[in-house]
Structure 1
Amino acid sequence: MYRIPFGAIYKIALSLICFVFTTSGTINAQKLPLPLPGKNAISGSAFKNRIENLSLEEREEEIFQQIINGNIPSFIRGLVPITFSSSINNVNYTVTYHVIPDYLAVGSDSDYFIIPMTPNMAQKIANAIHFTLPTKKMVDQIWSNASVKLAPSPIPPSPKMTTVPVMWEHNTRLKEQRKKALKQAPLGALVAGHKKDVIISNKIHENSSKPVVIYGWHYQNGTPIQPVYAGHSDTYADYSHGIRLVQDSVLINNQVDLISNILQDDDKCTLFSDEGVIAKPFYPLK
């Protein structure tokens, strides 16, 4: 369900709480608003075994419960700021928004599973914590700002690419890549290039039978393997998809707003969108 029309005053108040400033004007470290994992939280590999033979619906419910209950690696909890400047109609804007440093995963720092999911589940998680998904423009900004730009590691296409074993195989590859880059940047640094992003776009609502929009998976030279593509149903997710959560609260010229509001603004939408106004910046939930 679309969140913007209800509780607008509450959400702005929440946004103001989310942004905490030091006396120097810089933004303090922010974290995902999720609880710490319980004593019985399972590892990424145990989670893989748990969901391997489940239906899609059962698998996604397991994903939701694990993430909402805080069973995520600690290195994903700390949000990373992205700051940029832009001029629109002779007005200069300085913008800071916050993203998770890697794609959503279940488990611990030593044993985690970067888990693909349908856009509906990604939106459900985002709604629950007042976050959003990135636009194409934001995916490019995140890649440009990443401390670690991992090379894509594709697996040959097959009917099995939507299955948990192939998702786990890709996860294992990514962990090896990340391990080699630890000297360059520790866990918690911004990482990009290793997955296609599920993004916010007008294309979500242009074809109700194929609303999933994906983009990214950048080569080392910055060229994405995947152009903006809307060719899958809302029940589709394969090993190459990643979910990058973005805090909906954003700082624009020292004023707090919401990315979801800005995307609907005729003038300021270009701060986050290269396709103009995105009137419905969300995936519809059933």
Structure 2
Amino acid sequence: MLATRLILTAAAGVVAVGGMAAAAADLMPGFKRSPFWGEQLKDLQTAEGIKVHINAPEKMRPDVPTRVVFYSTPNGNSIAQTLGVQMKQDLDWHYDIQHIAAQTRRLREVSPDVNIVLVCIEAEGKSWPGWRAKHEDNAALIRAMVEDTIKGMPGKSVSVTLTGHSGGGSMIFGFINAFEQIPAWVDRIAWLDANYAYSDESKHGDKLIAWLKGDSRRNLTVVAYDDRNITFDGKLVNGPAAGTYRATERMRARFEKDMKLEHAAKGDLDYYTAMDGRITFIVHRNPANKILHTVLVGEMNGFLEAMTLNTPEHGKWGDFGTPRAYTKWIQPAADAAPPAQNPSPAPYDKSQVPVDVSKLGGHASPAGTAGTVIMKSVAAMSRSERESQLLREIVGGNAPAFMGKFVTVRVSGVDAKGKAHTASYEVSPDYVCVGTDKDFVRVPLTPMVAQPLADSLKCSLTTRKMCDDIYKQAEVKLEPRPMTNDRESVETFVRQNAIIEEQRKGKPLGALVAGVKKDVVITNLLQEREHRVAIYGWHQLDGKPIQPLTTVHVDWYVDYSHGIRLVKRQMIVDGEQRDLWDVLKDPDLCFLVSDEGPIAVAHY
């Protein structure tokens, strides 16, 4: 294991530590100094494949308590992705969804009289449930890892917090399984949408209640959301007994056998509390039926909320919900310079992405090159290189001729004053493609490329309402065929295109097609968070979209399901020519093309 076994003094409720005062000003043994914000770091790995990353203050004070926070990574996420960094071009989006390191730094900022040590732990295979299934003695291994990690930590006393997200919650249950009684040196346990593995048969509820009753300083927090009906690519995510909502219901039912849980509602959140707030279940009702899984942790500051509930620090850092309360503490990516003393995020770098079509340079393929040939030529390129070349191809004329024949969509309605209006606008018959009429491929693009392309053609991207109206009036409605593997690869782009073309057989080329992609859209939501892409649509045959309007992804993210539908800026309203963007701003007329009121900024 990591070290020799730790001797505990349970009676005091903490791990007794001594003899470290002289060395407290220096780095702890085996640690290295971080270039960021006065931290020291250490990385370890057990023989059984548990990776351990320790992030501690550079100066560990011997005269104040030390709190060691164990955070177990979610399924499919590495330690580095869980810690998070500032986003930049071509960096995987997983680095921007939890930001546990930045949230820990914010926690330290509001808790100056505590040594807060973050221990981020990743199981082999990036799955705690999978790792536990492979190791019959997983409970003992987890216990030893925790005890060995905290051995020798400086501080007046040492307490442990156990928390994690998604499958990481399995680690906490493994730890609990290792004891007849949860150790007195554990002061806080928090499942962040992570309590899937809760089991009454394993006496999890009995042990938690006994532990909470043993000391008034102990706290339990469960954060979850109503995930019973959420869908991904049109399919239910959870079975009839799965998900954290149902797991939380099971936990609450067990606790209510011993105590009364008080209920209070705050916005879309239900709070169930007991023991003077030391037990808190927070359940998001999820009225929009969105996937809020990791949103609860990162975007809504869930880690900070769970770490400070029922403490004087609660609320000092910000509020549970948006916006992020820790942005200035997000670490730059590995090749960035160390931040200033009072850090703020570096500006987003789009230097590798073309924004001026007239200055593209480079060369397109010869006229008439097949779409599949073009896609093969860009398959090995980076995202930014690929998008630059695809833009060259489209602007250079390697787009199917049928795409130049726009189709008219007509809408009408009555404004707030009771006055009737009619309008029409022209849309591309399909999503942006490269190639020829005989061999073309629909190409997913980021908004950084889609917007200048649209601008060069005096076009706009669509809105949510326009997507709905286009679908209703489409001559060819095809059933969505979601794919799950290699979603961001060019090969998958081409495979999905082939599936669509097989579905479209016998339908006229140039007819208005819908139901084959999610639209990259314009929306007011883009003004709430910088550097995001908004997507919506992929309507099913019953007219319901698979994808609700969302800005969950950073703006350089693109996968096979994204499509660019172009709309001519010039439209007709009540018989007169108008600019679509002006209509979107007009409080009296915007309802013709927007279902979210006026959209003042109609571009990326």
Q: Same fold (TM over 0.5)?
A: yes
Q: Distance in 2 between matches of 1:119 and 1:133?
A: 9
Say if 2:536 and 2:549, in contact at 8 Å, map to a contact too: yes
Is structure 2 residue 392 aligned with structure 1 residue 65? yes
Tell me what 2:590 maps to.
Answer: 269
Q: Distance in 1 between matches of 2:472 and 2:458?
A: 25
Say if 2:488 and 2:558, in contact at 8 Å, map to a contact too: yes
Which of 503, 507, 512 does residue 177 from structure 1 map onto? 503
1:88-237 to 2 correspondence within 5 Å?
A: 88=415, 89-156=417-484, 158=485, 160-179=486-505, 181-182=506-507, 186-209=508-531, 211-237=532-558
Query: Which residue identity does 2:518 align to in structure 1?
Result: K
Tell me what 1:20 maps to.
Answer: none
The higher-RCO structure (CA 8 Å, 6+ apart) is: 1
Say if 2:446 and 2:556, in contact at 8 Å, map to a contact too: yes
Provide closer, same or farther for how the CA distance between residues 268 and 72 of structure 1 changes in structure 2, counting only shifts above 3 A: same
CA deviation after TM superposition for structure 1 residue 83, in Å: 1.0
Query: Which residue identity does 1:202 align to in structure 2?
Result: N
Say if 2:406 and 2:427, in contact at 8 Å, map to a contact too: yes
Q: Distance in 1 between matches of 2:368 and 2:581?
A: 33
Q: Distance in 2 between matches of 1:120 and 1:144?
A: 28
CA deviation after TM superposition for structure 1 residue 267, in Å: 1.5
Is structure 2 residue 405 aligned with structure 1 residue 78? yes
Query: Which residue identity does 1:82 align to in structure 2?
Result: V
Instruction: Report the RMSD for the aligned CA atoms in angstroms.
Output: 1.4
Aligned sequence identity (%): 40
Q: Secondary structure, in 3 states, of the residue corresponding to 1:194?
A: coil
Q: Secondary structure, in 3 states, of the residue corresponding to 1:161?
A: coil
Q: Secondary structure, in 3 states, of the residue corresponding to 1:176?
A: helix
Q: Distance in 1 between matches of 2:583 and 2:494?
A: 37
Larger Rg: 2
Tell me what 1:50 maps to.
Answer: 377
1:199-228 Cα offsets, whole Å, 9 max, x none, are 11011121114x101000111000110010
Divergent runs of 4+, >3 A: 37-41
Q: Distance in 1 between matches of 2:544 and 2:410?
A: 22
Q: Secondary structure, in 3 states, of the residue corresponding to 1:263?
A: helix
Query: Which residue identity does 1:190 align to in structure 2?
Result: L
Query: Which residue identity does 1:163 align to in structure 2?
Result: S
In structure 2, the gaps of 5 or more residues are 1-363
* TM-score normalised over the length of structure 2: 0.39
Residue range with higher mean Cα deviation, 65-74 or 236-245? 65-74
Tell me what 1:250 maps to.
Answer: 571
Q: Distance in 2 between matches of 1:112 and 1:61?
A: 18
Residue range with higher mean Cα deviation, 39-48 or 138-147? 39-48
CA deviation after TM superposition for structure 1 residue 40, in Å: 3.2
Q: Secondary structure, in 3 states, of the residue corresponding to 1:162?
A: coil
Query: Which residue identity does 1:187 align to in structure 2?
Result: L
Query: Which residue identity does 1:222 align to in structure 2?
Result: G
CA deviation after TM superposition for structure 1 residue 107, in Å: 0.3
CA deviation after TM superposition for structure 1 residue 126, in Å: 0.6
1:97-133 Cα offsets, whole Å, 9 max, x none, are 0000000000011111100010111101011111000
Query: Which residue identity does 1:108 align to in structure 2?
Result: T
1:161-211 Cα offsets, whole Å, 9 max, x none, are 1110111111111111111x42xxx101101001100011011121114x1
Q: Distance in 2 between matches of 1:73 and 1:199?
A: 23
Say if 2:365 and 2:393, in contact at 8 Å, map to a contact too: no
Q: Distance in 1 between matches of 2:539 and 2:443?
A: 19
CA deviation after TM superposition for structure 1 residue 39, in Å: 5.8
CA deviation after TM superposition for structure 1 residue 261, in Å: 0.8
1:63-100 Cα offsets, whole Å, 9 max, x none, are 11111122111121100001122111222211110000
Say if 2:431 and 2:565, in contact at 8 Å, map to a contact too: yes
Tell me what 1:278 maps to.
Answer: 599
Tell me what 1:13 maps to.
Answer: none
The size of the alignment, in residue pairs, is 240
Say if 2:365 and 2:374, in contact at 8 Å, map to a contact too: no
In structure 1, the gaps of 5 or more residues are 1-36
Q: Distance in 2 between matches of 1:127 and 1:142?
A: 21
CA deviation after TM superposition for structure 1 residue 41, in Å: 3.4
1:125-147 Cα offsets, whole Å, 9 max, x none, are 01111100010000000000000
Q: Distance in 1 between matches of 2:477 and 2:541?
A: 7
Q: Distance in 2 between matches of 1:273 and 1:220?
A: 23
1:44-79 Cα offsets, whole Å, 9 max, x none, are 111111100001111111111111122111121100
CA deviation after TM superposition for structure 1 residue 153, in Å: 0.6
CA deviation after TM superposition for structure 1 residue 274, in Å: 0.6
Query: Which residue identity does 1:75 align to in structure 2?
Result: F
Say if 2:478 and 2:503, in contact at 8 Å, map to a contact too: yes
Q: Distance in 1 between matches of 2:365 and 2:562?
A: 27
* TM-score normalised over the length of structure 1: 0.81
Q: Secondary structure, in 3 states, of the residue corresponding to 1:232?
A: strand
